[in-house]
Structure 1
Amino acid sequence: MDIADAVCGILTAAHCALAMVVEIHNINRATSTGKDLSDHLKYSAEHIPATFVYAAINVEREGLFTGVRGKQIAARCVMKYMGNFPYRAEWRSMIALMKESLRLHDHGHGSLVLLAKYLHSRTGGSISSLSHLVCVAAISAIADGSERITRRSLESIPVDHSTQSDSPRTPDDGDGEVGDAA
């Protein structure tokens, strides 16, 4: 545990208040590596005075909380079920922040926010689907020289399989927005 002690010491000295561990559903506790990682998570949570957030999908079905080690982790956790974003002000704010990170020369201020309802319809409120869609659209806009994201360009990009299979969507989402946002 020498490395674990060093990491705990550094994070404690740095006054780490929040530790996020993502994709814990990938821990395979049937392997010695998975067992060691499980033990390290428990050890870290006991020795670092921080709030630990573990993010995963289907965590209960993956068996992370079963067996002796799993029950020890489960005893230290409060489960919070999350879903996709509903179409509310937070969704529009997130899209506005994404727009600000784009460096497209011909993409007007607030233009992506005008497509917020359409983007929600296309992605089902999934952050990962939204991120992929906007990223591919931005790369395409740079490659074709247009330097802007439009509804037409977004319609030409397929969404991920998970989003497609969860809820089929049509390009006409009935939001009253027609054509391209400038």
Structure 2
Amino acid sequence: MTQTQITDAVCHTYTQAGVQLVLIDEIHRLNPRTTIGAQAAADLLKDLTERLPATFVYAGINVTDVENALDLHHHKPGTLPRHAPYLHQRTAGRIGSLTRLIRQAAITAIHDGTERITKTTLDAAQLDHLAEQHNRPTRNR
């Protein structure tokens, strides 16, 4: 089977079984700068999180928090966790959408010279298609 066929089979099986929680251990082994194939594994996990109606929990040793990895000179640690409900709603709880949102806001912060992420920069960031569809207002009939 190809990787795509395996992924499709896993998604089908998990959906049919009603899996609601997926635990991923040893996430520290997925550092794409040091591990061969880690980027492919990270891409696979992103694909699974977008296709499965389940909560994913990641565990690992000495895993750097996303906010600490931003390396923005004026960003205040703790800003992102304070916006957790907003971030979850905006990204529909998708880890891929969340990382894209934070990355876009960080790029904006670097380009505009503020070197910090605020709710305003998060609001201005464009999301991927799945998250944008989730956040599209519904029309009343």
Unpaired segments ≥5 residues, structure 2: 21-51, 59-63
Please report the TM-score for the alignment, with normalisation by the length of structure 2.
0.56
Does residue 83 (structure 1) correspond to residue 66 (structure 2)? The answer is no
C-alpha deviation, 1:80, in angstroms = 5.5
Quote the RMSD (CA, aligned, Å): 3.6
Greater RCO (Cα-Cα under 8 Å, separation 6 or more): 2
The two structures have a TM-score, normalised by structure 1, of 0.44
Q: Does 1:134 align with 2:95?
A: no
Partner of 1:163: 131
Alignment size in residue pairs: 97
Indicate how the Cα distance of structure 1 residues 80 and 151 shifts in structure 2: closer, same or farther if over 3 A, else same: same
TM-aligned CA distance change 1:130 to 1:84, over 3 Å = farther
Q: Against the structure 1 CA distance between its residues 117 and 105, is the aligned structure 2 distance closer, same or farther, given a 3 Å change threshold?
A: same
Counterpart for residue 98 of structure 1: 66
Q: 1:124 to 1:138 in 2, by over 3 A?
A: same
- Secondary structure of residue in 2 paired with 1:120: helix
What is the rounded CA distance, in whole Å, between the counterparts of 1:123 and 1:62 in structure 2? 21
* Counterpart residue number, 1:150: 118
1:1-182 paired onto structure 2 within 5 Å: 24-25=3-4, 27=5, 56=7, 59-60=8-9, 82-83=52-53, 85=55, 97-165=65-133, 167-168=134-135
Name the SS of the counterpart of 1:158 in structure 2: coil
Residue 116 of structure 1: how far off its partner (Å): 1.0
For each residue in 1:11-65, what CA deviation from the matched residue of structure 2 results, as whole angstroms up to 9, or x when unmatched? xxxxxxxxxxxx922x5xxxxxxxxxxxxxxxxxxxxxxxxxx6x3xx14999x9
User: Partner of 1:154: helix, strand, or coil?
Assistant: helix
> Percent same amino acid at aligned positions?
33
Structure that is richer in helix per residue: 2
